[in-house]
Amino acid sequence: MKKYFIIFLVLVASLSLTACGNNSSEKKSNAQPLKIGVTAGPHAEIMEVVKKEAEKNGLKITVVEFNDYIQPNVALSQGDIDVNSFQHKPYMDYIVKDRKYDLHSVANTVIFPMGLYSKKITDLKNIPENAVVGIPNDPTNGARGLLLLEKIGLIKLKEGTGIKASPADIIANPKNIKIKELDAAIIPRSLTDLDLAAVNTNYAMPAGLNPAKDALFLEDSNSPYVNIIATSGKTKNDPRVQELIKAYHSPEVKKFIETKYQKSIIAAW
């Protein structure tokens, strides 16, 4: 009987050590900072709030800022960062198809409604003949800008092109507008050289534009361009990613978005 009792104690001790080891391993995993790529401006501002919420549950986050739409996905695919939060789903889908990156959408974040802005006109009815109109030069956001121009009746696109539209798909252009494709980040600074431009909200706001007040036309909440949290195939099932999503979708972050951006940016969860 004494022998069996000793074996029992050894088993209990072994299980206890295993449990401690697992807890230690889990804590170690959470202690490793999650590197998250964002673009400067609202995405970075929101992520700083997410970072504080995540830290309450033991997840440390390192925020890495980028100044364009290309490098965050390059960095994610190369393993320089673990996650990124800056793009909408159609853009990521395009990048995956075009560059064969192993990227995955794991959660919705916010909608940044694209708007049409001008420093030269105050009413869309006054767009002149031969107006120069700026749109982003990446295919996804370029199509998004063209769809806005079609919504206001400035152009007509080939039927069925939708979110894949390009300037080549314009089949009617009554005012003979000139489409100028520019890097999305510099369009706000180029407004004085353009008659009208399609500007992404995350670039409009740092440039001092208020989408709710300054846009002559703004996407509505039915936009398919919902922003996402993206991972690589290697980090898709990382438990830290679930902690990140939990922090992002917290009431505190939602309240920050509603208070800070006053419907210029909309929580999409």
Per-residue pLDDT tens digits for 127-154:
999 999 999 999 889 999 999 999 999 9
Alpha-carbon dihedral of residues 196, 199, 203, 206, nearest 10 degrees? 50
Work out the burial of residue 230: count CB atoms within 10 Å of its CB; fewer than 13 is exposed, 13-18 middle, 19 or more buried: buried
**Amino acid, single-letter form, for residue 128:** P
- Between CA 213 and CA 31 the distance in angstroms is 43
Instruction: Specify the pairing of strand 170-172 against strand 103-111.
Output: unpaired
Task: Check residue 11 and give its pLDDT.
Answer: 42
- Partners of 228 in the β-ladder: 108
Q: What was the pLDDT predicted at 139?
A: 87
Q: Compute the half-sphere exposure of residue 259: CA atoms within 13 Å on the CB side of its CA.
A: 9
Which residue, among 178, 209, 212, has the nearest Cα to 196 in the 3D structure? 178
**Token duo for residue 210:** 């208020």
**Percent above pLDDT 90 for the chain:** 78
% of the chain at pLDDT higher than 70 = 88
- Ranking 133-137, 221-225, 230-234, 250-254 by mean pLDDT, the lowest is 221-225
Indicate the range of 12-16, 166-170, 224-228 predicted with least confidence: 12-16
Supply the mean pLDDT for the chain.
Answer: 89
Averaged pLDDT for residues 88-117? 95
Confidence class for position 31, pLDDT limits 50, 70, 90: low
Average pLDDT over residues 193-214: 93
Kindly list the distances between the CA atom of residue 70 and the CA atoms of 90, 103, 110, 244, 250, in Å, as whole numbers in the listed order. Answer: 14, 14, 20, 23, 29
Decide: 92 and 64 in contact? Cβ < 8 Å: no
- Given a cut of 50, whether residue 193 has pLDDT beyond it is yes
Q: What's the pLDDT score for residue 17?
A: 42
- Assign residue 33 a region (left: φ > 0; alpha: ψ between -120 and 50; beta: otherwise): beta
Q: Using the predicted structure, report yes or no on whether residue 230 has a pLDDT greater than 70.
A: yes
Distance CA 235, CA 210 (A): 36
In the chain, what is the straight-line distance between the N-terminal and C-terminal CA atoms, in Å? 60
Q: Quick one: CA dihedral 192, 262, 184, 197, positive or negative?
A: negative
269 with 109: CB under 8 angstroms? yes
Its pTM stands at 0.70
The arithmetic mean of pLDDT across residues 235-245, rounded, is 97
